[in-house]
């Protein structure tokens, strides 16, 4: 990891310094926002080989557009917006659709076969919730999220992992607040259904 | 307990932000074990989602991006100032070199005033043109990367 000065600059100071020609400070901007950008790229782009190029492309676009940024939103939200649009452009170029059920990549298939079938089924009379959550939920949940369509897994990660608000997600994705909320509800329901299906249960 | 069970969005809301639930839904939830179980499921799901490890790249993204950035460029306003100074210099040099000839050519004060105004207008037009060009280039850059 590069050794950069601590995050002592405000967003405004940081942008001003980069625009005045101190490009080294741009590293701070990358470090402040790379969690969000990485999350977006990983959730929207299925092919691991394409992700590094896309992440770098995002930051080169941010650098070139920085003069046009007028703090109409948080800096991180603006960077997230560029990351989302860059990924969207990639998906359009590859003729992939954000909301179609995702096709597992060869890497996913290998991973799935390596893991094998789910190791448990809630037996009759047992508590289905306990059966679900007594096991390695994090691992299973991670796999289930990967099976969601790109937009759904992006929304899940932005809301639950990045802890962004509906409004911030709406700004990043340019979707109306209500649509974000509605998609998020559907994504969570789908996620629960996928998890339940793994345990061969109809309902909890 | 006569009210219907909570809808799927309400169950999620109860797990995510219970304060946003309406009073009848809260009342139902207090007396309904089925809905409580469903809310608990979502609560555990959300907690597990929040604790999933964040993805990371296997390379140093910051270093990689910094290595690709172009070197510092002179600020545009300095470039504009330089061009304006150059134009002014040319005008002054022209006046010094050909002052006598000019004086003979412009015998009347009115003519001299007119010539002065023409020179000022020329400088202004040159400056405005450069500014417009710079603005156009900036907009093209924004359009390309928006």
Do A194 and A115 share a structural domain? yes
Tell me whether residue A98 is in a domain: no
Domain range for A154 is 106-198
A46 with A116, same domain: the answer is no
**A64 and B141 in contact by Cβ < 8 A?**
yes
Q: What is the DSSP string of A114-173?
A: HH-S-S--PPTTS-HHHHHHSS-HHHHHHHHHHTS-HHHHHHHIIIIIS---HHHHHHHH
Query: Are A150 and A79 part of one and the same domain?
Result: no
- Has residue A2 been placed in a domain? no
Question: Does some domain include residue A119?
Answer: yes
Tell me phi and psi for residue A95, to 5 degrees: 55, 40
| Contact between A129 and B40 using a beta-carbon 8 Å cutoff | yes
> Minimal Cα distance from B60: which residue of A?
A1
Residue A111 and residue A77 in one domain:
no
User: Does residue B7 or residue A121 have the better pLDDT?
Assistant: B7
Residues A85 and A110 in one domain: no
Query: In this structure, are A72 and A131 located in the same domain?
Result: no
**Angle at the Cα of A185 (from A179 to A189), degrees rounded to 5?**
145
Beta-carbon contacts of residue B93 (< 8 Å; ≥ 6 apart): none
Do A122 and A89 share a structural domain?
no
Q: Is the pLDDT of residue A135 over 70?
A: no
**Quick check: A11 contacting B, CB < 8 Å?**
no
Number of domains forming the structure of chain A: 2
A98 vs B97, higher pLDDT: B97
Mean pLDDT for all residues in chain B: 84
The rounded radius of gyration (Å) of the Cα atoms in chain A is 20
Chain B interface disruption, residue of A62, A83, A130, A133, most B CBs within 10 A: A133
In this structure, what CATH number is given to the domain that contains residue A130? 1.10.10.10
- Proportion of chain A above pLDDT 70, given as a percent: 74
Has residue A63 been placed in a domain?
Answer: yes
Whether residue A185 is found in the same domain as residue A117: yes
Residue B46 has pLDDT above 80, yes or no: yes
In the predicted structure, residue B111 carries a pLDDT above the cut 80:
no
pLDDT band of A121, cuts 50, 70, 90 = very low
Look at residues A41, A59, A93 and tell me which one is the last residue of a structural domain.
A93
Does A189 fall in a domain? yes
pLDDT confidence bin for A171, thresholds 50/70/90: very high
Residue A43, pLDDT above cutoff 60: yes
* B2 or A162, higher pLDDT: A162
> In this structure, are A113 and A152 located in the same domain?
yes
The residue in chain B having the minimum alpha-carbon distance to the alpha carbon of residue A32 is B62
Is 60 exceeded by the pLDDT of residue A119? no
Which member of B52, B57, B65 has the closest CB to residue A38?
B57
Q: Report pTM.
A: 0.66
Q: Among A102, A110, A184, which Cα is nearest to A147's? A: A102
Give yes or no for A156 touching B (CB within 8 A).
yes
Instruction: Give a yes or no: residue A157 inside a domain.
Output: yes
The ipTM estimated for the assembled molecules is 0.73
Domain boundary pick from A52, A68, A93: A93
CB contact under 8 A, A26 and B66: yes
In a domain, A4, yes or no: no
> At CB < 8 Å, which residues of chain B contact A?
8-9, 12, 37-38, 40-42, 44-46, 48-52, 54-57, 59-66, 68-73, 75, 138, 141-142, 144-146
Domain boundary among A70, A93, A116: A93
Q: Is residue A6 part of a domain?
A: no
The answer to whether A4 touches A31, Cβ cutoff 8 Å, is yes
Least CA distance to A52: which residue of chain B?
Answer: B57
Same domain, A133 and A74: no
* Cβ-contact B46, A160 below 8 angstroms: yes
What CATH number did the domain enclosing A70 receive? 1.10.1740.10
């Amino acid at each position: 990891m590069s050794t950069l000065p601590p995050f002592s600059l405000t967003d405004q100071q940081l942008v001003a310094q980069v625009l005045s020609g101190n490009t080294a400070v741009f590293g701070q901007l990358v470090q402040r926002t790379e969690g969000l950008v990485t999350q977006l790229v990983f959730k929207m782009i299925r092919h691991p080989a394409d992700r590094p190029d896309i992440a770098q492309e995002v930051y080169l676009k941010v650098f070139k557009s920085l003069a046009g940024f007028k703090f109409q939103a948080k800096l991180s939200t603006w960077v997230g917006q560029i990351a989302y649009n860059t990924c969207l452009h990639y998906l359009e170029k590859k003729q992939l659709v954000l909301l179609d059920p995702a096709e597992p990549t060869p890497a996913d298939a290998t991973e799935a076969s390596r893991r094998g079938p789910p190791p448990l089924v809630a037996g009759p009379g047992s508590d289905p919730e306990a059966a679900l959550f007594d096991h390695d939920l994090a691992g299973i949940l991670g796999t289930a999220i990967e099976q969601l369509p790109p937009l759904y897994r992006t929304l899940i990660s932005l809301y639950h992992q990045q802890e962004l608000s509906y409004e911030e997600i709406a700004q990043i994705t340019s979707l109306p607040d209500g649509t974000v909320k509605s998609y998020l509800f559907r994504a969570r329901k789908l996620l629960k259904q996928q998890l339940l299906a793994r345990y061969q249960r109809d309902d909890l | 307990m006569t009210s219907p069970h909570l809808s799927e969005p309400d169950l999620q809301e109860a797990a995510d932000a219970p304060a946003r639930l309406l009073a009848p839904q809260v009342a139902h939830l207090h007396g309904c074990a089925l809905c409580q179980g469903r809310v608990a499921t979502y609560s555990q799901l959300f907690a597990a989602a929040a604790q999933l490890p964040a993805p990371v790249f296997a390379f140093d993204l910051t270093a990689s991006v910094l290595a690709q950035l172009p070197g510092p460029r002179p600020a545009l306003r300095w470039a504009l100032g330089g061009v304006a100074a150059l134009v002014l210099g040319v005008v002054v040099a022209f006046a010094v070199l050909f002052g006598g000839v000019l004086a003979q050519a412009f015998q009347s004060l009115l003519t001299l005033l007119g010539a002065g105004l023409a020179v000022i207008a020329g400088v202004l037009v040159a400056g405005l043109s450069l500014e417009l060009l710079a603005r156009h280039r900036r907009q093209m850059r924004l359009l390309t990367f928006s």
